[in-house]
């Protein structure tokens, strides 16, 4: 008995025939940047965004005081960036007696 591939997957013979059957829809966009705002050497905010320049300007308008914006790694998927953000804030808390960075409102970044 020949089994069909799981839904969303394409059989090799279909690729040879030019069929792509939702392969493009399965890939998630890597359009989210991870970043840290610093005041001197102190982390004051951990965040993610799809437009770092716009988000930095928003932080400035909100009155956040920082001297540097450190982009962390390459752009990634939104889901992966959210996981990184939560993990980074939790790591900060572990190293700083349970406190979050100055401008982070919660531990998930949301």
Cα–Cα dist 76/82, whole Å: 10
Cα–Cα dist 20/18, whole Å: 6
Q: Where are the domains of the chain?
A: 30-95
Query: In this structure, how many other beta carbons lie within 10 angstroms of the beta carbon of residue 81?
Result: 24
The pLDDT score that the predictor gives to residue 25 is: 47
In this prediction the pTM is: 0.74
Q: Which has more pLDDT, 88 or 106?
A: 88
For the stretch 56-104, pLDDT in tens is 999 999 999 999 999 999 999 999 999 999 999 999 999 999 999 999 9
10 Å CB burial of residue 33 (0-12, 13-18, 19+) is buried
Percent of the chain's residues with pLDDT above 90: 69
């Amino acid at each position: 008995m020949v089994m069909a591939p799981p839904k969303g997957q394409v059989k090799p013979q279909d690729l040879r025939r030019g069929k792509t059957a939702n392969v493009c829809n399965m890939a998630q966009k890597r359009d989210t940047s991870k970043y840290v705002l610093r005041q001197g050497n102190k982390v004051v905010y951990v965040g993610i965004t799809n437009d770092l320049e716009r988000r930095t300007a928003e932080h400035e308008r909100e009155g956040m005081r920082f001297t540097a914006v450190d982009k962390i790694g390459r752009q990634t998927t939104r889901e992966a960036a959210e996981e990184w953000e939560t993990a980074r804030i939790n790591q900060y808390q572990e190293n700083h007696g349970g406190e979050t960075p100055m401008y982070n409102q919660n531990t998930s970044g949301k």
